[in-house]
Amino acid sequence: MATVKPRILHATVICLEPTISNCWANGMTGRKEKQKMEVTINPKDFSNLLRCLSLLKNNCNDVEIRGGILRQRTNNRACIFEMDLTPLVSDCDLVLSNVKNKLSLLKTISKQEVKVCITDNDISFSGERSTFKFAMPRPDFLDNKFLSGEDFARIFTLREEDVILEYAVTKDISSLMKVTSGQFKIVSFQISLEGATAAIIATTTDKKQYSRIEQGIPIKKPLKCFSNIVVEPFLIDHDGDILFKMYNVQDTICIDTFETSIGKITIKVYCRSQLIEELELDNSEPNAEQSPDAINTGD
């Protein structure tokens, strides 16, 4: 008996929302083989999906989406990215290794309706004419593995009463931070807590260049210290403001959260930092290049 394969090279139905179909392929013996899932994504949603995944291309080697949820550490383990992508891909399991190169290919069909077909062996993306098919990588070979909800909950607990700073980073401020971090070649910004208010500061390693990017940010309780926070969450692509919060979870340890959106998708980033007392160092500004802490996941 001949095997019947579904055609996926041409999309003929324009969908305002992703559509799901599960199908089984019959083998030569008539036995059911492994399940296949197909998702049809309209051009706007597919473009937003690529925008969301592009947030990781310089920070992660791989992307592992389980049940439509992306939750994984960056390569340097300094941040955890979390997105609920179910409005775009439903509850699919979507895994891509070497994600930066694959995103470059997929952008060539970003203005088309795209059908995504996923099996245990491979994943394909089909536009109006072109199809890209990638082998499904083995999970144990991934550098950036999916964090389950249970594992994530064991890392830290956030309580609103622990918030010491809350600030909406506008697009013009995030653009300024992006330009400054690139010119200064820094890996972290300094959050200077100056009593009743805070400031965002950038300083080169040799302290010859200095920028006070924002100041007068209200804080919840008087503090005289500073914290170094990785640059990546401040620089990500986003449609609205980036809501930045600092939670003082234990002694001098802080968990920093960043929440923004792309289209209908909410993006959250979690980092770890430390409150450091100001030092009197020959009339110079504190160095914002001090490496931030990685999030300890107990691995």
Taking alpha carbons only, the member of 53, 44, 37, 39 closest to residue 16 is 44
Q: How far apart are CA 268 and CA 7, in angstroms?
A: 37
Q: How many CB atoms lie within 10 A of CB 279?
A: 9
pLDDT at 286: 44
pLDDT at 237: 95
Class of domain 19-153: alpha beta
pLDDT at 8: 38
Q: How far apart are CA 24 and CA 223, in angstroms?
A: 61
Q: Ramachandran region of residue 30, left (φ > 0), alpha (ψ -120 to 50) or beta? A: left
* Topology of the domain comprising 160-277: DNA Polymerase III; Chain A, domain 2 (3.10.150)
What does the DSSP assignment read for 272-298? EEE-EE----TT-PPPTTSPPPPP---
- Report H helices in 64-124: 86-89, 99-106
CA separation, residue 291 to residues 187, 189, 227, 272 (Å): 7, 10, 10, 11
pLDDT at 139: 87
Residue with tokens 């089909």: 126
Q: How many CB atoms lie within 10 A of CB 63?
A: 23
Give the tokens for residue 156.
């830290």
Residues of the chain with CATH 3.10.150.10: 19-153
Contact 12, 114 (CB under 8 A): no
Taking alpha carbons only, the member of 210, 198, 207, 174 closest to residue 273 is 198
Amino acid at 1: M
Give the tokens for residue 94.
């979507």
3-state DSSP assignment of residue 125: strand
pLDDT digits (tens, 9 = 90+) for 204-232: 999 999 999 999 999 998 999 999 999 99
**Pair type for strands 210-230 and 36-41:** unpaired
Contact 204, 289 (CB under 8 A): yes
Amino acid at 265: I
pLDDT at 150: 96
**Pair type for strands 253-262 and 265-274:** antiparallel
Burial degree of 251 (CB within 10 A; 0-12, 13-18, 19+): exposed
Q: How far apart are CA 54 and CA 126, in angstroms?
A: 19
pLDDT at 279: 66
Per-residue DSSP letter, 123 = E
Q: What stretches in the chain show pLDDT beneath 70? A: 1-35, 279-299
Q: How far apart are CA 43 and CA 278, in angstroms?
A: 51
Query: Cα torsion at 52, 53, 58, 59 (round to 10°)?
Result: 90
pLDDT at 156: 92
